Amino acid sequence: MLYRQFPKIEGQDVSALGLGCMRLPTIGGDPGAIDQAAFEAMLLAAAEAGITYLDSAYVYHKGLSEGAIGAALDRTGLRGRFTLATKSPVWLAKDSGDWDRFLDEQLKRLRSDHIDFYLLHALGAERWDLVRRLGALEALQKAKADGRIRHIGFSFHDSLGAFKTIIDGFPDWEFCQVQFNYVDTAYQAGEEGIAYAAERGIGVVVMEPLRGGALADPPQAVRDLFAGYPTPRTGAEWALRFALDRQEVVTTLSGMGTVEQVLHNAAVASSGRPNALTSREREILGEARGIYLSRLRVPCTTCGYCMPCPSGVDIPGVFAQANGASMFDTLPGTSAWYMTSFVKGGSGADQCVRCGQCLPKCPQHIEIPDRLEESHRYLAGA
Ligand code: SF4
Ligand code: SF4
């Protein structure tokens, strides 16, 4: 395994590959039924392979991921081998006392007196307002001062502009966690955001390097492209090498669910040095990205300039769902997510009243109301 350091955190190297604990082995495919024995086997394999970073969240596995980690570390005696990262469920906070309540509950679940890397979960422009209004930043500073957490960061899902605002809005950030892979180089924070954070000494943790596993199972055209490379490599290996290549990236998380995946990914990370990709490898990954992007339904860059919509439509969010489903062949799952999260939540394309306010704001000149209607038909399966 190779190890890297967060710029602002001295004396604590972490493994270049981290174990994301949101897709742990389960019984019968139920996220609320973690297969504890299989998870412990994974944890032992991870420790053996030199992985030192575990990433969880209050809500993963229907709220059971942290408890499974706590129990597994207790039983295996491996707490000292890992740094623990977990996230506060920002959207559940109702008042300023909730931050301490969440954290204390998480410490109990994890059976630990401290959390090494503590994040505000899935920040974006709206949640950034919420965390400041409810005193989350002050609560984190206090928790760091009294030793319950060691380092303060945030994970992120919104536009690049919102990312920069959040980075610049709090001097005590030590790290951030962003989605990044060889397809999503200009999505959300993207390459520009990663560089922006690193220039300010904020270490970057990458999530979704395999795009929820989709890049491990590429379409035929991408498989053919990869097959032309002299050394046989899995889709997962290509994707991991891309993330590991960025020198700003301290650790790359992978939501692994089997011992085999741990061993495979750890072997890749053991030779994934920063700036190691050759120009031929970069070319191949660029071509693969082009193949994925040719499957886009709407040329939306998710810049967010069209927002806010007075009718509450999450315009970039809807287009990102439609594009993701089309690029990665994930329509059934994405459709279910769209109906639950967007349509029921009132931010679906069905809320568009065609007022036209968003149209002049789109630098891509997308006919937003028409494309929303199409996207809704596609996602809703109508
Ligand atoms: S046209 Fe539709 S999406 Fe655009 S601002 Fe109006 S209601 Fe919102
Ligand atoms: S629809 Fe246009 S303005 Fe809105 S997020 Fe997409 S590219 Fe940006």
Residue 18 has pLDDT above 70, yes or no: yes
Q: What pLDDT is attached to residue 316? A: 92
Indicate whether residue 354 lines ligand 1 (CB < 6 A). yes
Contact 318 CB / ligand 2 (< 6 Å): no
pLDDT at 239 over 60: yes
The per-residue pLDDT for 256 is 93
Is the pLDDT confidence value at 382 over 60? no
Ligand closest to 372 (CA) is: 1
pLDDT at 364: 84
Q: Is the pTM of this model over 0.85?
A: yes
Residue nearest to atom 2 of ligand 2 (CA): 362
Q: Return the percentage of the chain with pLDDT > 70, whole number.
A: 100
| Structural domain boundaries in the chain | 3-286, 315-380
Q: Atom 8, ligand 2: which residue's CA is nearest?
A: 303
C-alpha of 134 from chain center: 24
Which residue intervals of 230-278 are DSSP H helices? 235-244, 259-269
| pLDDT value of residue 252 | 98
Q: Does the beta carbon of 316 sit less than 6 angstroms from any atom of ligand 2?
A: yes
Does position 298 have pLDDT exceeding 80, yes or no?
Answer: yes
Q: Which two tokens stand for residue 126?
A: 């709206």
Residue 329: what pLDDT? 87
Nearest CA to ligand 1 atom 7: 352
Q: How far is CA 63 from the centre of its chain?
A: 17
Q: Is 315 in the pocket of ligand 2 (CB under 6 A)?
A: yes
**Residue from 55, 21, 53 nearest 38 by CA:** 21
Is the per-residue pLDDT at 237 higher than 90?
yes
Dihedral sign from CA coordinates of 317, 286, 194, 155: positive
Cα–Cα–Cα angle for 106, 141, 156, rounded to 5 degrees: 65
Of 58-67, 138-147, 213-222, which range is least confident? Answer: 213-222
Confidence category of residue 90, pLDDT binned at 50, 70, 90: very high
The whole-number average pLDDT for the span 273-277 is 96
Fold for 3-286, please state it.
TIM Barrel (3.20.20)
Whole-number pLDDT of residue 158? 87
Q: In Å, how far are 200, 318, 361, 377 from 381, measured between CA atoms?
A: 44, 14, 29, 6
Residue 305: its pLDDT value, please? Answer: 84
Looking from the CA of residue 299, the nearest atom of ligand 2 is 7
- pLDDT > 70? residue 160: yes
- The ligand 2 atom at the shortest distance from the C-alpha of residue 319 is 6
pLDDT at res. 212 = 83
- Least confidently predicted of 30-34, 104-108, 250-254: 30-34
Mean pLDDT of the chain: 95
Least distant ligand from the CA of 349: 1
